[in-house]
Amino acid sequence: MKIVFHPEYLKVYASDPAASAGRLECILREIEGEYDFVTPEPASMDDILLVHTPFYVEEVRAEGLYDIAALAVGGAILASQIAFEEPAFALIRPPGHHASPDRGWGFCYFNNVAISVRKLMKEGRIRRAVIIDFDLHFGDGTANVFCTDKSVVYHHMPKDDIESVEEVLRAENYDIIAVSAGFDKHKMDWGYYLETEDYRTIGKVIKEYAEENCLGRRYAVLEGGYNCEVLGKNVKAFLKGFE
């Protein structure tokens, strides 16, 4: 298991909860020393344009957020590449699953997971993918990106319905599993649904289906999760199941 991380992700780049101080630090305290860390490079403009329109990219640039958003995309891309050798987790921000081709909201600017999947497809490394999203909020951006693309299945896990993840992974054909890993469904976070141990179960389910159906190829990208008292523990539990 590799953790993709860059010190720039620690910077407070905006006033929203995803950018708040301490959010990534609480995760690092839980997992440092347990996994190997690797450092990403920013995504190229060509990579970002695999999903987003030039006009929207310029809007993000005008807000002064292009550099950190491109670095987050680069983290997701590196995790997707590592997944061909071993599982990976992109400990990145800003998050991305609310970013559509021509707009973004919900603390998201570029769609990290969607771009990483599109890049693998462009390079001919995969033909089909499943994206599992267990964030509290539906990833409308990811759904919009792939709404007409039958080669990518996007599944948002409703409430605490871990069985729905199994059903999708059992039914579909895929070459890789990408995960939008949001931790705000926890009972001490915004959602009030999941226990910490549930995240270990989700990780284990994804691992088992990846090993059975796509040579173990799997990677996850951080989305939501805002209570620093439990966020690090929740991420660690997920990784223990996922690794």
Range of the domain at 199: 2-242
- Which pLDDT score, from 0 to 100, does residue 165 have? 98
Summarised one tens digit per residue, pLDDT across range 63-101 is 999 999 999 999 999 999 999 999 999 999 999 999 999
Give the per-residue pLDDT at 27.
98
Specify the DSSP class assigned to residue 184.
T
CATH code (residue 49): 3.40.800.20
pLDDT given for residue 99 in this prediction: 98
What are 184-225's pLDDT values in tens digits?
Answer: 999 999 999 999 999 999 999 999 999 999 999 999 999 999
The DSSP result for 27-93, as a single string, is: HHHHHTTTSEEE---PPPHHHHTTTS-HHHHHHHHHTT-HHHHHHHHHHHHHHHHHTTTS-EEE--S
pLDDT number for residue 182: 98
Number of domains in the chain: 1
Task: Quote the pLDDT of residue 72.
Answer: 99
Nearest to 68 by CA among 122, 18, 30: 18
- Element (H or E) spanning 162, and its range? helix 162-171
Do the Cβ atoms of 109 and 154 come closer than 8 Å?
A: no
| Catalytic site positions | 98
